Amino acid sequence: MNWPQTVKVIDVTPRDGLQDAAGELTAEQKIQLCRDLYAAGVQSVEITAFVSPKWVPLMRDAETVALALRELSDTIALVPNQKGFERALATGVNAVTFVVSASPIHQRENLRMSLADSFEQFRRIAQMHASSQVRLRGAISCAFGSPFSTESITPETVADIACEYVDSGAVELSLADTVGVGTPQVIYDTILSVKQRVGHHVPITLHLHDRYELGLGNIVAALAAGVTVFETALAGLGGCPFVPDAPGNLDTEKVVRWLHLMGIHTGIDEHALSQIRKRLLKDLDASNGRAD
């Protein structure tokens, strides 16, 4: 098989990793975590989410974190709606990840509006900010399976949503296995189906959660389908607060090690990553002690 020479790993610890964590970092600790990740060679970090502090209180310092990291590139922030986008834009982040869900129930519970309403907001954002430098990324949650047994998600459903994103102005796509039920076959088929619809020029990122320890198999399937960008979190932290029993993200250290063992470059220093992970877990632990 022909593997790519280089793969990009986007670390999402400061957002996905911390949003559901036991323990909490201060804004200063989050800022340092992001700086350390960039210094370890991570090219892009999802630094925060501009969501309502009412729903995700651990992200209430989004402005403080993003403003402190203004001079860095490439910073990414997650936004669930137009209001979040406006807040993100004001802080000078380089890219925003807009999120919708392939599961109608998850879409309602997580985004609190219909898919059609989400896309109306996304189109408005894309039109109003067509000349801005901010990269618009379109993320699709639950792209490889629904958390609810009454729903089934097909590669065609995901390809339809991907197509709507690209038609509306997204320049990158991120497919998320929010539930952690993707298998190598489903991952491969879904990516190919999306590529067929949107064309091969649109970069696709894969965001995997690991329920059945299929992480490496899923990465290999994605590489075979031509994906070269992955989103991961330190220590496998993370998970959607609106998915029952949500599994953690793929572990950044593990993924970087696998890729290096496969002879694929990431530009990331494995030793530095493990130091950052140790400090992060210590800080989270200490904050638990504070709360007691």
* Residues involved in catalysis: 240
Give the residue at shortest CB distance from Zn ion: 16
Q: Measured from the CB of residue 263, what is the shortest distance to Zn ion in angstroms?
A: 28
Residue 60: how many CB atoms within 10 A of its CB? 14
Cβ closest to Zn ion, residue 126 vs residue 215: 215
Which tokens belong to 78?
């997650």
Answer yes or no whether residue 164 interacts with Zn ion by CB under 5 A: no
Q: How far is the CB of 49 from Zn ion (least distance, A)?
A: 11
The region of 8-16, 44-52, 95-103, 179-187 touching Zn ion under the rule CB under 5 A is 8-16
Least distance from C-beta 1 to Zn ion, angstroms? 28
Nearer to Zn ion, 119 or 242 (CB): 242
Q: Which is nearer to Zn ion, 69 or 99 (CB)?
A: 99
Q: Candidates 10-18, 35-43, 102-110, 254-262 — which segment interacts with Zn ion by CB under 5 A?
A: 10-18
> If binding is defined by CB under 5 A, does position 16 make contact with Zn ion?
yes
Amino acid at 22: A
CB of 175 to Zn ion, least distance (A): 11
| C-alpha–C-alpha distance, residues 18 and 184, integer Å | 27
**Residue 210 is a binding residue for Zn ion (CB under 5 A):** no
Q: Kindly list the residues in this chain that would bind Zn ion in the complex (CB under 5 A).
A: 16
